[in-house]
């Protein structure tokens, strides 16, 4: 039976490949994209598995955010397929990790740091609070994960943030980040209140809070600084373009 399906499976993969080459992956549905990926990870017709995964998780994004255990728990999905998809999602996150660049990464504008740092949340299913630290020349030093957990259940520790701020004497600026895994990037009232409060924790360590970036479920991002919500903390342009 498998031998009969194998030629049609290869032919189907070739058709999808040609469509991607001609029109891009966006021309495929989530289920077709998943089918195409799975065709390289399993040796049988991937269509039933792709259909089952989309039916269970609702979208390709949610599939790629899921753990191996969650993927393998879907009826008809093999351990091999679950591991294959999980490895792809982790590789994608590694590719877009700004800390993996070989040359110093300078982030001087809200657009630069928002577009760069939001990539850290690709395939991130949990609400995760991070802080990016820059030196006086706005060069990225490191990104610290403060906490992660289920959406609406994350409570960042001021002590951990203070410790991370004081860990490196070269920390001059901080960009606070967190994500809304299942909704848009618009800040909630608690988000705004927390930002107003946490700036003093950074300040006590001699670090200036530049921005609070929120990443939504479609990898959209909201910069409080760009929106004008951080006017109380933004250095003027003369300060901003020269080392302090």
In angstroms, the CA 185 to CA 179 distance is 7
In angstroms, the CA 196 to CA 100 distance is 31
In angstroms, the CA 128 to CA 117 distance is 13
Residue 3: the pLDDT is 47
The DSSP string of 132-171 is EEE-TT-BEEEEEEEEEESTT-----HHHHHHHHHS-TT-
CATH code, 101-240 = 3.40.140.10
End-to-end CA distance of the chain: give it in Å, rounded: 71
pTM listed for this prediction: 0.63
Residue 228: the pLDDT is 84
Instruction: Give the chain's largest Cα–Cα span.
Output: 72
b/e 133-161 (16+ beta carbons within 10 angstroms → b): bbbeebbbbebbebbeeeeeebebeeeeb
Residue 5: the pLDDT is 44
Please tell us whether the domain made up of 2-94 is placed in CATH 3.30.470.20: no
Q: Judge contact between 171 and 141, C-beta under 8 A.
A: yes
In angstroms, the CA 90 to CA 93 distance is 5
Residue 91: the pLDDT is 85
Same fold, 2-94 and 101-240: no
What separation in angstroms does the CA of 102 have from each of 97, 108, 138, 140?
11, 18, 16, 12
The pair of structure tokens assigned to 8 is: 């049609």
Residue 231: the pLDDT is 54
Q: In Å, how far from its chain's centre is CA 147?
A: 14
Taking only the tens of pLDDT, the chain with its 244 residues reads 444 444 588 788 888 999 888 888 889 899 999 999 999 998 889 999 999 999 999 999 889 888 899 999 999 999 999 999 999 988 887 776 766 666 789 999 999 999 999 989 988 888 999 999 999 999 999 999 999 887 666 678 899 999 999 999 999 999 999 999 888 899 988 889 899 899 999 999 999 999 999 999 877 999 999 988 765 454 444 334 333 3
Residue 207 region by backbone torsions, left for phi larger than 0, else alpha for psi between -120 and 50, else beta: beta
Residue 238: the pLDDT is 36
Domain-wise residue ranges, the chain? 2-94, 101-240
In angstroms, the CA 122 to CA 70 distance is 18
In angstroms, the CA 133 to CA 33 distance is 36
Question: What is the 8-class DSSP label of residue 44?
Answer: S
The SS3 assignment for 201 reads helix
Residue 100: the pLDDT is 65
């Amino acid at each position: 039976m498998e031998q009969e399906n194998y030629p049609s499976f290869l032919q189907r993969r070739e058709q999808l490949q040609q469509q991607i080459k001609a029109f891009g992956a966006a021309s495929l549905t989530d289920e077709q994209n998943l089918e195409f990926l799975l065709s390289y990870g399993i040796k049988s017709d991937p269509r039933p598995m792709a259909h089952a995964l989309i039916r269970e998780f609702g979208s390709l994004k949610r599939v790629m955010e899921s753990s191996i255990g969650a993927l393998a728990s879907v009826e008809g999905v093999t351990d091999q397929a679950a591991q294959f998809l999980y490895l792809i999602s982790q590789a994608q996150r590694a590719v877009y990790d700004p800390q993996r660049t070989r040359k110093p990464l300078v982030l001087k504008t809200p657009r630069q740091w928002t577009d760069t740092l939001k990539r850290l949340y690709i395939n991130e299913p949990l609400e995760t609070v991070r802080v990016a630290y820059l030196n006086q020349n706005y060069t990225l030093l490191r990104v610290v994960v403060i906490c992660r957990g289920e959406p609406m259940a994350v409570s960042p520790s001021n002590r951990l943030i203070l410790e991370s701020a004081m860990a490196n004497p070269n920390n001059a600026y901080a960009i606070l980040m967190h994500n809304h895994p299942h909704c848009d990037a618009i800040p909630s009232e608690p988000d705004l209140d927390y930002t107003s409060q946490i700036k003093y924790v950074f300040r006590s360590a001699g670090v200036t809070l530049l921005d609070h970036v929120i990443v939504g479920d479609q990898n959209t991002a909201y910069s409080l600084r760009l929106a004008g919500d951080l006017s109380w903390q933004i250095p003027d342009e003369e300060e901003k373009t020269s080392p302090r």
